Amino acid sequence: MKRAIALIDANNFYATCERVFDPALWNRPVVVLSNNDGCVVARSAEARKLGIRMAEPYFKVKDLIETHKVAVRSSNYELYGDMSSRIMDVLEEFSPELEVYSIDEAFITIDADDRSNLTEFGKTVRDTVKRHTGITVSVGIAETKTLAKVANHLAKKSEKARFVLDLTESPHQEIALERTPVGEVWGIGRQHAAMLKSYGVNTALDLRNCDDQWIRRKMHITGLRTVHELRGIQCVELGASPNPKRSVIVSRSFGEPVSTLDELRAAISYYITRAGEKLRKRRLVAAALTVFAKTSRFNVDDHDRYSGIATESLVMATDSTLELMQSAQRILPGLYRPGYRYKSAGVILTGLSSMTGTSLRLWDSDKYERERLLMSAIDGLNARHGQDTVRCGLHDNEGKWASRLGLRSPRYTTKWDEIMRVR
Partner DNA sequence: TCTGGGGTCCTAGGACCC
Round to whole Å and give the CA distance between 168 and 174: 11
**Binding of DNA at residue 371 (CB under 7 A)?**
no
**Binding of DNA at residue 48 (CB under 7 A)?**
no
Beta 248-258 vs 342-350: how paired, if at all? Answer: antiparallel
**Binding of DNA at residue 41 (CB under 7 A)?**
yes
Which of 298, 311, 329, 342 lies closest to 393 in space, CA to CA? 329
301 Cβ neighbours under 8 A, 6+ residues apart: none
The CA–CA distances, whole Å, from 411 to 80, 125, 126, 267 equal 9, 27, 25, 24
CB of 298 or CB of 416, closer to DNA: 298
CB of 124 or CB of 408, closer to DNA: 408
CB of 246 or CB of 421, closer to DNA: 246
User: Among 38-46, 85-93, 161-169, 205-213, which window interacts with DNA (CB under 7 A)?
Assistant: 38-46
CB of 22 or CB of 56, closer to DNA: 56
135 Cβ neighbours under 8 A, 6+ residues apart: 10, 11, 13, 16, 17, 20, 83, 87, 129
Strands of 201-283 (E only): list them: 248-258
Please classify residue 423 by burial: count the beta carbons closer than 10 Å to its beta carbon, then call 0-12 exposed, 13-18 middle and 19+ buried: exposed
Minimum CB–partner distance for residue 51 and DNA (Å): 17
CB of 97 or CB of 312, closer to DNA: 312
**Binding of DNA at residue 253 (CB under 7 A)?**
yes
Element (H, E) at 129: helix 118-133
Minimum CB–partner distance for residue 259 and DNA (Å): 13
**Binding of DNA at residue 1 (CB under 7 A)?**
no
Which of 336, 322, 236 lies closest to 272 in space, CA to CA? 322
Positions 152 through 211 that interact with DNA (CB under 7 A): 185-193
Encode burial over 188-208: b for 16+ CB neighbours within 10 A, e otherwise. Answer: beeebbeebeeeebebbbbbb
CB of 261 or CB of 405, closer to DNA: 405
**Binding of DNA at residue 403 (CB under 7 A)?**
yes
Longest dimension (CA), the chain: 67
CB of 27 or CB of 349, closer to DNA: 349
98 Cβ neighbours under 8 A, 6+ residues apart: 88, 91, 92, 106, 107, 108, 241
**Binding of DNA at residue 218 (CB under 7 A)?**
no
SS3 (DSSP) at 355: coil
CB of 28 or CB of 400, closer to DNA: 400
**Beta pairing partners, 57:** 39
Among 157, 220, 281, 370, the residue binding DNA under the rule CB under 7 A is: 220
Positions 277 through 296 that interact with DNA (CB under 7 A): 278, 288, 290, 296
Minimum CB–partner distance for residue 290 and DNA (Å): 7
Minimum CB–partner distance for residue 36 and DNA (Å): 5
Positions 297 through 356 that interact with DNA (CB under 7 A): 298, 309, 311, 313, 343-344, 346
CB of 38 or CB of 124, closer to DNA: 38
CB of 57 or CB of 386, closer to DNA: 57
Among 50, 249, 316, 402, the residue binding DNA under the rule CB under 7 A is: 249
Minimum CB–partner distance for residue 423 and DNA (Å): 35
Positions 86 through 145 that interact with DNA (CB under 7 A): 101-105
Among 2, 217, 245, 370, the residue binding DNA under the rule CB under 7 A is: 245
φ/ψ of 86, rounded to 5, equals -65, -40
Please classify residue 155 by burial: count the beta carbons closer than 10 Å to its beta carbon, then call 0-12 exposed, 13-18 middle and 19+ buried: buried
**Binding of DNA at residue 240 (CB under 7 A)?**
no
CB of 27 or CB of 191, closer to DNA: 191
Minimum CB–partner distance for residue 314 and DNA (Å): 11
Round to whole Å and give the CA distance between 58 and 41: 10
**On the CB side of 232, how many CA atoms lie within 13 Å of its CA?**
12
**Binding of DNA at residue 149 (CB under 7 A)?**
yes
Minimum CB–partner distance for residue 5 and DNA (Å): 14
**Binding of DNA at residue 248 (CB under 7 A)?**
yes
**Beta pairing partners, 346:** 251, 292
Which residues make up the interface to DNA (CB under 7 A)?
34-36, 38-39, 41, 55, 57-59, 101-105, 149, 185-193, 220-222, 245-253, 257, 274, 278, 288, 290, 296, 298, 309, 311, 313, 343-344, 346, 403
